């Protein structure tokens, strides 16, 4: 464990908690893409099946359970509890265009052709594009609530910190996982446009960002 990975995990946890609290406190999921949240729940489910097969550390197990719990709680709030506030007309990204190619790629490019490893690879590839429905929805509505932009900032920051963690681990441990690194680079690049808006609009204090 290094400071970049720890900060990255905490940033990821912060994003997940920010979103869950935002929906819970405002009792509304307006502006939130339910499709992205379903994809994230799928990412955690397929990646953390090893909870059943191997124990790495208390930290690892605890965080995985928290991530899975929060992901499903968020999906529940969006599609059940606060269903009336779900903005389905703007959450129209065709997720099958993400899941099918990612599923195929996981079969073609992986470390080991075993079920757990294929699912892990699927989850890594899926996570890199899972935010697209949310970014697409924001571009369609033309605005995002401030709290949603903080959620996206921490979510984008987490994988950027992981990139530094992988540089650190390659240099100090000789460890590197090409699949995770390539997917992580793609994932972080997808946030660049948003990061730019977040920083520039954030300074001007406007309470909404308007992606081009």
Partner 1 sequence: EYDIYKHDEL
Question: Given the rule CB under 8 A, which residues bind partner 1?
Answer: 5, 9, 12, 47, 50, 54, 56, 60, 63-64, 67, 111-112, 114, 116-117, 120, 162, 165, 177, 180
Smallest distance, Å, CB 180 to partner 1?
Answer: 7
Q: Report the nearest approach of partner 1 to the CB of residue 80 (Å).
A: 27
Judged by beta carbon, residue 179 or residue 190, the one nearer partner 1 is 179
Quote the least distance from Cβ 166 to partner 1, whole Å: 9
For residues 138 and 144, the answer to whether their CB atoms sit within 8 Å is yes
Considering only CA atoms, which of 92, 85, 1, 98 is closest in space to residue 43?
98
Give the residue with the Cβ less far from partner 1, 68 or 73: 68
Measured from the CB atom, is 27 or 111 closer to partner 1? 111
Residue 209 burial (CB count, 10 A): 22
Residue 55 beta carbon to partner 1: minimum distance, rounded to whole angstroms: 11
- Assign residue 171 a region: left if phi > 0, alpha if psi is -120 to 50, beta otherwise? alpha
Instruction: Report the alpha-carbon distance of residue 2 to residue 20 in Å, rounded.
Output: 27
**Cα–Cα distance, 147 to 30 (Å, whole number):** 12
Say how many C-beta atoms besides its own lie within 10 A of residue 99's C-beta.
17
Token pair listed for 99 = 């899941």
The nearer residue to partner 1, 47 or 150, going by C-beta atoms, is 47
Helix ranges (H only) for 77-212 are: 96-108, 115-129, 132-141, 146-173, 178-204
Local structure of residue 82 (DSSP, 8 states) = T
**Nearer to partner 1 (CB atom), residue 121 or residue 149:** 121
């Amino acid at each position: 464990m290094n400071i970049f990975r720890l900060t990255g995990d905490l940033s990821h946890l912060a994003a997940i908690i920010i979103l869950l609290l935002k929906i819970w406190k405002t009792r509304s999921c307006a502006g939130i893409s339910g499709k992205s949240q379903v994809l994230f729940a799928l990412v955690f489910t397929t990646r953390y099946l090893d909870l059943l097969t191997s124990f790495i550390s208390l930290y690892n197990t605890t965080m995985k359970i928290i991530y899975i719990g929060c992901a499903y709680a968020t999906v529940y709030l969006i599609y059940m509890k606060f269903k009336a506030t779900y903005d389905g007309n703007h959450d129209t990204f065709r997720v099958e265009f993400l899941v099918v190619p990612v599923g195929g790629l996981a079969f073609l490019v992986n470390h080991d052709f075993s079920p757990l490893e294929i699912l892990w690879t699927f989850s890594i590839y899926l996570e890199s594009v899972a935010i697209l429905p949310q970014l697409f929805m924001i571009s369609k509505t033309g605005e995002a609530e401030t709290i949603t932009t903080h959620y996206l900032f921490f979510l984008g920051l987490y994988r950027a910190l992981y990139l530094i963690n992988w540089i650190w681990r390659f240099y100090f441990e000789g460890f590197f996982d090409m699949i995770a690194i390539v997917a992580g680079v793609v994932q972080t690049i997808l946030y660049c446009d948003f990061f730019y808006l977040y920083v520039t609009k954030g300074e001007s204090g406007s309470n909404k960002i308007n992606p081009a």
